[in-house]
Amino acid sequence: MTDRDGTYILFYDYVDNMLERRAPYREEHLARVQAHREEGSIVMAGALGDPPTGAAIVFRGIGPEGIEIFVNDDPYMKAGLIANWRVELWNVVP
């Protein structure tokens, strides 16, 4: 199996006060996620916690290197709103 054959989850840990701080960047962030959903590389995505403390984004057909490119271009990352991130292979049971 190659990286492109797998399913990966990108986990974000948000900075404190994310609800207030994300407002100027949220529309662009969500548009990018939607564009990747439409092209098929993102299967699902959403915030974790209430209020949000992070997010999980499920990718298929794109490996860790491609996901890193996504992270580096994310408006939240560029604005310093992502405290930490990591990518995990998700071994989905058929």
Q: Residue 60 is part of a domain; what is its CATH number?
A: 3.30.70.1060
The pLDDT tens digits of the residues spanning 12-66 come to 999 999 999 999 999 999 999 999 999 999 999 999 999 999 999 999 999 999 9
Q: Kindly state whether residue 88 falls inside one of the protein's structural domains.
A: no
The whole-number pLDDT of residue 2 equals: 57
Is 25 within the bounds of a domain? yes
Rg (CA), the chain: 13
Q: Across the beta sheet with 54-60, what order do the strands follow?
A: 42-48, 54-60, 7-14, 82-90
> Is there a domain that residue 8 lies in?
yes
Quick check: is 92 in a domain? no
Q: Which pLDDT does position 4 carry in this prediction?
A: 60
CA 12 to chain CA mean position, Å: 7
pLDDT of residue 93: 85
Question: How many domains does the structure of the chain reveal?
Answer: 1
Distance CA 60, CA 51 (A): 27
Domain assignment of residue 90, yes or no: no
Determine, yes or no, domain membership for 52: yes
- For residue 23, being part of any structural domain is answered with yes
Q: Is residue 56 part of a domain?
A: yes
